[in-house]
Amino acid sequence: MRFILYFILSLTLLWSKEPILPLEMIPYDEQKAQLGKELFSDPILSQDNTVSCATCHLLNSGGDNDIVFSFGIKGQMGSMNTPTVFNSALNFKQFWDGRAKDLVDQAHQVIENPAEMGDNIYDIVKRLRKDKHYPKKFHDIYQEEISKEYLIEVLVEFERSLVTLDAPFDLYLKGDKNAIAQEAKRGYELFKSKGCVLCHNGRNIGGNLFNRFGIHEVNNQSKSLGRYEVTKKEEDKYVFKVPSLRNIELTAPYMHDGRATTLEDAVKIMTDYQLGREMKQEDINAIVEFLKSLTGKLPKIIR
């Protein structure tokens, strides 16, 4: 009898598992992260000293910027909407087309991209070694001269510290039933029952899957071919990384090309293109309410 009781109990526990998990802190080295934070906002990392990481990833504005495409060195305009740096350590791949397998790879590519920071990492290392205060800071951590590995490591360590904890929805998941409004709760139920959760799930509510943009709307008018640029496989045309929905309220405009300016537009495009279904306005509003509950606290390191 008791066995059956336990069995049923464990089954209910299994069933009660939500497809979205609250964020947890990633362990990081404070000293390295602090140095990374400094470099993150220093244009010394770009070829002509005009652009820093923080030029596009505004730390007080959701970890991205409010424009459709960002500008690199010499005023060059990018071709993709800047993704947020917040919680990026949790993404399974980096960039919209997933061409970087991790943050180390990502930092390398941005620094060396001629349209972004346009520099050679060895030149940056040379420049940093001649700088007034960086050599000492690196030496304090590594007891060695600045190297490209150390430079990337401190930047990545900073990015790892950018986890936005305690979003109202996370608190709700942790048991605080009043952390989010009734409408947001209804939005979450719709999010699960209408199929959104099939792509946006896990701790980062996305960022762990590729899928085609425009599953039900082939005429998606995307200039970027997405993952096709990396793999050159026909089936990868218009395939992008499913982005995280955390802090989405702060990261407008939306989509890889920034085509949606409001959350409502974004949800509409998604239901149309991805889910291939009609949704009532009140349901869309509820989902938007749910999405707004995903905004976490600013990471401690930049507070």
Partner 1 sequence: MHGISVNHKKIDLFFLLILFFIVMLVFLVIYVNKTNRDIKDYTVYHKEIKNLAILHLKLENTFLKKYRYIDYDALQDINHEFQTILKFLDNEKFLYKFDKNLKDKIALLHSAYEQKESLVEEFKATNARLTNSIHYLYDLHQSIEELTISIDEKRLFLNIFFQIEQLLMDMPNDLTHLQADVAKINQIKQNNKLYDYFYQHTTLFIQDIEILKNILETNERLDLYSTIKNISYGLEQYSTKMHERQYTTFLYFIIFGFLNLVFLVFNYKKIHKLAQDFFTFKYVIEKSENIIIITDKNRKIGYVNKTFENKLGYNKKEVIGQQDSLVASDLMSQQTYEDINETLLRGQKWEGELISRKKDGSFIYEKTSIVPITDKGKVQGYLFIKFDRTEYSTKSRV
| Shortest Å, Cβ 96 to partner 1 | 15
CA–CA dist 144, 102 (Å, integer): 25
The reply to whether 232 sits near partner 1 by the rule CB under 8 A is: no
Count of positions (residues) in the chain: 303
The reply to whether 269 sits near partner 1 by the rule CB under 8 A is: no
CA–CA dist 210, 227 (Å, integer): 9
Backbone angles phi, psi at 294, to 5 degrees: -95, 5
Which lies closer to partner 1 via its Cβ, residue 53 or residue 196? 196
CA–CA dist 53, 243 (Å, integer): 20
Helix (H, G, I), strand (E, B) or coil at 71: strand
| Shortest Å, Cβ 212 to partner 1 | 7
Of 92, 109, 127, 222, the residue at the interface with partner 1 (CB under 8 A) is 92
Run of H or E including 240: strand 239-241
The reply to whether 235 sits near partner 1 by the rule CB under 8 A is: yes
* Residue 64 one-letter amino acid: D
DSSP 159-222: HHT------HHHHHHTT-TTSS-HHHHHHHHHHHHTTGGGTS-BTTTSSS-EEES-SS-S----
Which lies closer to partner 1 via its Cβ, residue 89 or residue 121? 89
Q: With CB under 8 A, what is the number of residues at the site for partner 1?
A: 28
User: Of 203-222, which residues contact partner 1 (CB under 8 A)?
Assistant: 203-204, 208-212, 215-216
Let me know: does 166 contact 172? Beta carbons within 8 Å. Answer: no
User: Of 6-35, which residues contact partner 1 (CB under 8 A)?
Assistant: 19, 21
| Shortest Å, Cβ 210 to partner 1 | 5
The reply to whether 201 sits near partner 1 by the rule CB under 8 A is: yes
30 carries an active-site annotation: no
Which lies closer to partner 1 via its Cβ, residue 244 or residue 247? 244
| Shortest Å, Cβ 197 to partner 1 | 8
User: Exposed (0-12), middle (13-18) or buried (19+): which is 291, by Cβ within 10 Å?
Assistant: buried
Quick one: which segment of 63-71, 181-189, 245-253, 269-277 binds partner 1 (CB under 8 A)? Answer: 269-277
User: Exposed (0-12), middle (13-18) or buried (19+): which is 66, by Cβ within 10 Å?
Assistant: middle
Of 278, 280, 281, 303, the residue at the interface with partner 1 (CB under 8 A) is 278
What would the two tokens of residue 97 be? 């087309």
Point out the catalytic residue in the list 116, 157, 159, 289: 116
Quick one: which segment of 58-66, 175-183, 268-276, 290-298 binds partner 1 (CB under 8 A)? Answer: 268-276
CA–CA dist 139, 135 (Å, integer): 6
Which lies closer to partner 1 via its Cβ, residue 114 or residue 276? 276
Of 26, 165, 275, 301, the residue at the interface with partner 1 (CB under 8 A) is 275
* Residues 6 or more apart in contact with residue 213 via CB below 8 angstroms: 220, 222, 226, 238, 239, 240, 255, 256, 273, 274
| Shortest Å, Cβ 102 to partner 1 | 9
Catalytic residue annotation: 116
Give contact residues for partner 1 (rule: CB under 8 A).
19, 21, 92, 101, 193-195, 198-199, 201-204, 208-212, 215-216, 231, 235, 239, 274-278
